[in-house]
Amino acid sequence: MQYGVLSRQSRQEMMESLAAMPEYVAERFADLSASMRIESGPHGSFAPVEQVWHLADLEVMGFGERISRLQLEKHPVLPDFAGDEVARQRNYKSLSLADGLEAFRRARAQNLDRMAGLTAEEWSHQGEQQGVGPVSLCDLPAMMAAHDESHRREIEIWLAFHVQ
């Protein structure tokens, strides 16, 4: 689903949902003890601190990079974001949940601001994303929303597993 073919109201709702994701994550993890913040989910899924840093890093190294390159380059080849590898390299469990939330908030706000300033012509800029294929700027909001939704499900499963 391309952002450009949605109604104005649907585009606005999508952007509002994207803007609300950092607060959603913050609310779900607000009252966790330090030990709970590093507890993995079922089947080894991300712990809360890993969730927030994954979201922050993807926002910068994945979506942010894609927005920039698609806006500025002609048909760039965009690397996939190796989230599990980045998590291992950065040792997310050793990082602060609060700092990760703040990094996610800042990066998401920056990306939304950048998209809000795109011209109609820029929305159509295309490239090739490894593992995905052809992608244009107008695909990114829906890709971001789908990724957010997958993390909402993971967070709800984690909460059901750990918080009674």
Inform me whether the pLDDT recorded for 5 exceeds 70: no
Q: What's the confidence (pLDDT) of residue 1?
A: 42
Q: What's the confidence (pLDDT) of residue 155?
A: 97
In order of their start, the domains of the chain are: 3-162 (1.20.120.450)
Global pTM value: 0.94
Residue indicated by tokens 């990082």 = 95
Lowest mean pLDDT among 4-13, 24-33, 66-75: 4-13
Contact 112, 59 (CB under 8 A): no
Mean pLDDT of 96-103: 98
Give tens-digit pLDDT for 29-41: 999 999 999 999 9
Inform me whether the pLDDT recorded for 27 exceeds 70: yes
Helix ranges (H only) for 91-139 are 97-116, 120-123
What percent of the chain lies above the pLDDT cut of 70?
96
Mean pLDDT rounded to a whole number for the chain: 93
Alpha carbon distance 90, 88 (integer Å): 6
For residue 163, what are the contacts with CB-CB under 8 A and spacing of at least 6? 36
Measuring CA to CA, which residue among 29, 49, 25, 52 is closest to residue 39? Answer: 49
